[in-house]
Amino acid sequence: MRLARGEGPAAEVHPLSPLGVMPPRSSGSLINATSLMRGMFYQASNKPQPGSGVLPVSWLEEARFMPAAVRKITTIETLRAGSLSYGEPLGDTGLRSVLAQRLADVNISALPSQIMTTVGATHALDIVSRTVLKAGDPVMVEEPGWSLEYARLDALGMRVLPVPRGPDGPDLAVMAHYCETYAPNST
């Protein structure tokens, strides 16, 4: 067993991981969400990493536009409108009406009451995960990917299955292996 730099004895080099490390297992998952979170912030080069989910440090330290943008969107009126109520549970009524019309334009019939908007991808994935999945279900995730999602799936009791992503997309051999190993029940 070869150890990866900066990792303890539980981290063995794994051929399926682009980072070369298979983190220790936790709560039924095949991958440890904490290790994935560490990997998310690993700076492989000095090139920008737009998919990392965080703003570049230079934007926060050097750019004058960031504080100005924050001040602009946090006016008293904006704070009053958005901070003192939860809003519509399905999302903004006007937006859902516009979405229903756009869907009708492409021959998809949906009423605004049948549409739900979310406050982001994590919120949407949480709703889907809690509705469709149950504890112990295997879930393939891209590696590298959004580590907070890995942790959320792990906390829900899902079996997190990392799929390495290369320059040509996800590793199809790894996906095929998972499909064979964790084939869904036909019942």
Q: Roughly what angle, to the nearest 10 degrees, separates helices 147-155 and 33-40?
A: 170
Q: Amino acid identity of 60?
A: L
Look at residue 73 in the predicted model and tell me its pLDDT: 73
Look at residue 145 and tell me if it is in a domain. yes
Look at residue 7 in the predicted model and tell me its pLDDT: 40
Q: What is the 3-state secondary structure (H, E, C) of 102-138?
A: HHHHCCCCCCHHHCCCCCCHHHHHHHHHHHHCCCCCE
Look at residue 9 and tell me if it is in a domain. no
* 115/89: higher pLDDT: 115
Q: What mean pLDDT is predicted for residues 79-98?
A: 78
* 25/100: higher pLDDT: 100
Look at residue 15 and tell me if it is in a domain. no
Contact, 159 vs 29, CB < 8 A? yes
Q: Is the pLDDT of residue 113 over 90?
A: yes
* 183/19: higher pLDDT: 183
Look at residue 23 and tell me if it is in a domain. no
Q: Using the 8-state DSSP alphabet, how is residue 98 labeled?
A: H
Look at residue 25 in the predicted model and tell me its pLDDT: 42
* 12/121: higher pLDDT: 121
Contact, 125 vs 145, CB < 8 A? no
**Percent of the chain beyond pLDDT 70?**
60
* 53/99: higher pLDDT: 99
Look at residue 11 in the predicted model and tell me its pLDDT: 37
Look at residue 28 and tell me if it is in a domain. no
Q: How many domains does the chain have?
A: 1
What's the CA gap between 161 and 29, in Å, rounded?
7
**Residue 90: which domain range?**
33-181
Mean pLDDT value across the chain: 74
* 170/6: higher pLDDT: 170
